[in-house]
Amino acid sequence: MAKVIVVTSGKGGVGKTTTSASVATGLAKRGYKTVVIDFDVGLRNLDLIMGCERRVVYDFVNVIHGEATLKQALIRDKRLANLDILPASQTRDKDALFKDGVEKVLNELRKTHDFIVCDSPAGIETGAVMALYFADEAIVVTNPEVSSVRDSDRILGILSAKSKRALDGDDPIKEHLLITRYDPNRVQTGEMLSIDDIMELLGIPLAGVIPESQSVLTASNSGIPVIHDEVSVSGLAYQDLVERLLGEEVPIRFITPVKKGLFKRLFGT
Amino acid sequence: MSILDYLLRKKKKTASVAKERLQIILAREHIDRSGPDYLPELKKDILKVVEKYVAIDYDKIQVTIENDGNCEILELNISLPDFAGGTTAAMNKVRKA
Ligand SMILES: Nc1ncnc2c1ncn2[C@@H]1O[C@H](COP(=O)(O)OP(=O)(O)OP(=O)(O)O)[C@@H](O)[C@H]1O
Ligand SMILES: [Mg+2]
């Protein structure tokens, strides 16, 4: 059975697209046929993070409106043969997505793929609701910061009230908390909400902690999802996340403060 | 305050301030979500009426919804400013069958 996983947050800029790219890549690396869909209509960015921006011809909205076939719009990842990207359109208005159209595309993808990862736009408007509506699982991306935690809580409310599973009375969407841009040193000095604080506030199981790390920027600069970077803490933390999503028990790493030596200060993490 | 007090005084860490604030606001927003759709409007209307008589400290309003089997009880606690020797709390209860 194919699984639809939405990566959502409410708040903008917390790491949804970074996470979508790495989770999709990680699942494909593990051998699952995976597709990652950009729901951010008008603000396409997933293509850049996946490094396929120059190969975009047709997009998600074209497919929904019958202007292109799914096959024409899917972009095969250049590193992994079992990974596809469905880009968002750059021009159309937000109402370009509608439920029946999205459902048709998802149902078609369910036949050919094991995992469908949906990169949600920020906010709680149409685009975000479309991205989460058909989800089986949700990764709620949260930064250790007040407004992000509050917005994650609002998104959790929407997942449990307005999603298809909620409205149909099916089993609820399986929720995963992902804390990103975590800085153990600042947590230790009492300047940043801790993992326990956030878990207590949001009350959903923790699926991963991605530390604040410079390699995320390096990865996006070069269009290679950070999970490919096997020497960076964030790359490894994303690998752990993927394993947990697949049901494996993996301890959380990189959450204890590190003393920054001269070397690290000079060369970064 | 003595110098010793001053030196020993611990500044409250901002992370725990953040947590406390979030606990309060999330609890409030959960009530608004879990209650009937008209709850936010009802709350505003009730407050408007009370405000005709006294100034309300919006920090000190508490709303709870309890379900005791066959009916839901909405409780709105509004702390009134000092009067009659400092008593507080006016209670409005709305019962819904
Ligand atoms: N773990 C991390 N460490 C450092 N920087 C990060 C980390 N995760 C994300 N970022 C940076 O944060 C910024 C926002 O990331 P991203 O685009 O993934 O967020 P988003 O939630 O998709 O944003 P939007 O809501 O606009 O779609 C980017 O510049 C990215 O490089
Ligand atoms: Mg994004």
Q: What is the pLDDT of residues A21-72, one digit of tens each?
A: 999 999 999 999 999 999 999 899 999 999 999 999 999 999 999 999 999 9
Closest residue by CA, ligand 1 atom 13: A13
Closest residue on chain A to B13 (Cα) = A190
Of residues B12 and B2, which shows the higher confidence score? B12
Chain B CB contacts of A201 under 8 Å are: 19, 22-23, 26
pLDDT recorded at residue A267 = 58
Contact A157 B33 (CB under 8 A): yes
Q: What is the pLDDT of residue B59?
A: 80
**What ipTM was predicted for this assembly?**
0.88
Return the percentage of chain A with pLDDT > 70, whole number: 95
Please tell me the distance between residue A43's alpha carbon and the centre of ligand 2 in angstroms.
8
Helix (H) or strand (E) holding B46: helix B39-51
Closest CA to B93 of B51, B46, B53: B46
* Amino acid making up residue A70: L
Q: Which of B13, B16, B26 sits opposite A150 (nearest CB)?
A: B26
Residue list, CB under 5 A from ion ligand 2: A 16-17
Q: Is A192 on the interface with B (CB under 8 A)?
A: yes
DSSP-assigned beta bridge partners for residue B77 = B62, B91
- The structure's pTM equals 0.88
**Is residue A232 within 6 Å of ligand 1 at its C-beta?**
no
**Phi first, then psi: what are they for B94, rounded to 5°?**
-120, 125
More confident residue, A215 or B40: A215
d(CA A100, CA B41) in angstroms, rounded, equals: 33
Decide: A149 and A142 in contact? Cβ < 8 Å.
yes
Residue A219 in contact with residue A226, Cβ under 8 Å? yes
| Contact: A201, B23; criterion CB under 8 Å | yes
3-state SS, residue A29: helix
User: Which tens digit of pLDDT belongs to each residue from A203-218?
Assistant: 999 999 999 999 999 9
Tally the residues of chain A.
269
Distance CA A9, CA A7 (A): 7
Q: Tell me the count of A-B CB pairs closer than 8 A.
A: 39
Question: Rounded CA gap, A84 and A25, in Å?
Answer: 9
Contact residues, A window 201-220, toward B, CB-based 8 Å cutoff: 201
Amino acid A207 reads A
Give the whole-angstrom CA distance, residue A6 versus residue A196. 24
Q: Which of residues 93-152 of A touch B (CB under 8 A)?
A: 145-146, 149-150
Rg for chain B, CA atoms, rounded = 18
Q: Where are the alpha helices (DSSP H) in chain A?
A: 16-29, 46-50, 60-64, 70-73, 99-112, 126-133, 146-162, 164-168, 184-188, 195-202, 215-222, 233-245, 262-267
User: Is any atom of ligand 1 closer than 6 Å to the C-beta of A181?
Assistant: yes
The per-residue pLDDT of chain B, averaged, comes to: 77
Closest partner CB to A190 (pick from B15, B22, B23): B15
Q: Are strands A75-76 and A83-86 parallel, antiparallel or unpaired?
A: antiparallel
Residue nearest atom 16 of ligand 1, based on CA coordinates: A15
Cβ-defined contact of A201 to B19 (cutoff 8 Å): yes
pLDDT band at residue A96 using 50, 70 and 90 as cut-offs:
confident
